[in-house]
Structure 1
Amino acid sequence: MNLADTIRAIPDYPKPGIIFRDITTLLGNARAFRRTVDELVQPWAGGKIDKVAGIEARGFILGGAVAHQLSAGFVPIRKKGKLPHETVSMVYSLEYGVDEIEMHKDAILPGERVLLVDDLIATGGTASAAAKLIRQMGGELEAACFIVDLPALGGADKLRALNVAVRTLIAFEGE
Structure 2
Amino acid sequence: MSRYEIAFSGELASGATLEQVEANLARLFQADAKRIALLFSGRRIVIKQDLDYDSVEKYRQAMARAGAIAEVRPMPVEVEEIELAPPPAETPVSPPQSAPGIRPAPLKVTPRDEYMAAFADVEAPDFGIAPAGADLQDARPPAQPPGLDLSQFSLAPVGSDMSERRRATDLPAPDTSHLKLVD
Task: Answer whether TM exceeds 0.5 for this pair.
Answer: no
Q: What's the TM-score once normalised by structure 2's chain length?
A: 0.21
Which protein has greater RCO, CA pairs closer than 8 Å, 6+ apart?
Answer: 2
Between structures 1 and 2, the one with greater helix share: 1
Higher Cα Rg, which structure: 2
Q: What's the TM-score once normalised by structure 1's chain length?
A: 0.21
